């Protein structure tokens, strides 16, 4: 995506980041503008990078983040893997906010064996009864006399707070509630 595609649009609460040629799928139902990416089907799994549209579709539809098939769900909840981060709540993994979609049982096993993030830190395999949509994260843009300037780090924008009018979303987040730590299926 090129900065030349961006412009200032009219939002319900004032000016907001927009594309010059807006498409219906560019904004989610909360009014967040999503980054446009080109699809490249096939290939190998890149554990350190997730395609923003695929991540969004998997999180919205509760689909496996690897195969985009149905994520594993039983009476105890959806299957997730979450790792302990510096910003994790003291109740971790309960009430953890994650951008990692759920998994099917097969790809949970593959991920534990192959994902470098899981090998580097403390993680837990979880059943989550209430994986609530929490918000989005992405880059914050502002227009200057020299063109668009963006923040170096992604910002999290919870749905419970006013939306950032200059955000270009790249990740959808869920808060994990009703968590049970389980063995890998």
Q: What confidence tens digit (pLDDT) does each residue in 86-129 have? A: 899 999 999 999 999 999 999 999 998 888 878 777 899 999 99
Q: Can you give the pLDDT at residue 145?
A: 78
Q: What confidence tens digit (pLDDT) does each residue in 17-65 have? A: 999 999 998 999 888 999 987 665 555 555 556 788 889 999 999 999 9
Give 2 or 142, the one with higher predicted confidence: 142
165: closest CA among 2, 31, 48?
31
Question: What SS3 state is found at 40?
Answer: coil
Residues 185 and 84: their CA atoms lie apart, in Å, by: 20
Confidence check: pLDDT of 149 > 60: yes
Q: pTM, whole model, 2 decimals?
A: 0.88
Q: Can you give the pLDDT at residue 50?
A: 73
Q: Can you give the pLDDT at residue 151?
A: 82
Q: Can you give the pLDDT at residue 113?
A: 87
Q: Can you give the pLDDT at residue 44?
A: 58
Answer for the pair 173, 134: CB distance below 8 angstroms, yes or no.
Answer: yes
Residues 102 and 100: their CA atoms lie apart, in Å, by: 7
pLDDT mean over 118-145: 90
Residues 25 and 13: their CA atoms lie apart, in Å, by: 20
* Chain centre to alpha carbon of residue 61: 12
Token duo for residue 68: 């985009």
């Amino acid at each position: 995506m090129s900065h030349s595609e961006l412009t200032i649009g009219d939002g319900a609460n004032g000016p907001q980041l927009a594309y010059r040629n807006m498409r219906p799928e560019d904004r989610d139902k909360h009014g967040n503008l999503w980054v446009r990416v080109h699809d490249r089907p096939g290939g190998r799994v890149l554990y350190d990078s997730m395609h923003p549209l695929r991540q969004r579709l998997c999180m919205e539809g509760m689909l496996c983040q690897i195969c985009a098939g149905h994520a594993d769900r039983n009476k105890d909840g959806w299957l997730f893997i979450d790792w302990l981060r510096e910003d994790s709540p003291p109740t971790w993994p309960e009430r953890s906010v994650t951008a990692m979609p759920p998994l099917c049982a097969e790809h949970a096993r593959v991920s534990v064996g192959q994902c470098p993030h899981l090998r580097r830190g403390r993680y837990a395999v979880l059943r989550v009864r209430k994986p609530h949509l929490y918000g989005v994260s992405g880059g914050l843009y502002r227009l200057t006399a020299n063109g668009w300037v963006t923040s170096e780090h992604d910002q999290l924008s919870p749905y419970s707070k006013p939306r950032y009018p200059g955000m270009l979303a790249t990740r959808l987040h869920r808060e994990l509630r009703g968590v049970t730590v389980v063995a890998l299926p």
